[in-house]
Amino acid sequence: MLISKVSYLGELRTSATHLGSGVSIITDAPLDNQGKGEAFSPTDLVATATASCMLTLMGIAARTHGLNIDGTTVEVTKVMASNPRRIAEIRCKLVIPAGTLTGKDKQILEIAGKTCPVIQSLSTEIIKELTFEYQ
């Protein structure tokens, strides 16, 4: 299934357009890899996609079980390695409004988040540190 078209704009910048919606995003090489760092880098998108995927799966679980996770946020940290340059670690700190969530509700949400397709697709060599904080 064709999902996007990506164009090189020069100066280590790309534009990616989602073909279904027409929405575009820009990427830049990071400052530590000859880039301007004025937008997400491709590896930033991988780490960020992890958080977005987790929230989506948790949202599906919340909808299925009549839970409310509106206002949940994720702080994403990416750690790079070298030789070869690659993502070594992705840390996601999820901050979830506890509201009336029970222990069972929290377990349902955490299992859903941890089983998102992006996490399942990432190399087992990438450390995935997932922290769930209820406030």
Does residue 108 share a domain with residue 74?
yes
Does residue 54 share a domain with residue 82?
yes
The Cα 3–Cα 33 span in angstroms is 28
Does residue 25 share a domain with residue 48?
no
Does residue 51 share a domain with residue 89?
yes
Does residue 59 share a domain with residue 77?
yes
Instruction: Give the pLDDT score at 23.
Output: 98
Does residue 104 share a domain with residue 63?
yes
Q: 3-state DSSP call for residue 123?
A: coil
Instruction: Give the pLDDT score at 95.
Output: 98
Give pLDDT tens digits for 99-127: 889 999 999 999 999 999 999 999 999 99
Q: Considering the entire predicted model, what is its pTM? A: 0.94
The Cα 124–Cα 33 span in angstroms is 24
Q: 13 is in which domain, residue-wise?
A: 4-33
pLDDT category of residue 64 using cuts at 50, 70 and 90 = very high
The tally of domains found in the chain comes to: 2
The Cα 28–Cα 37 span in angstroms is 6
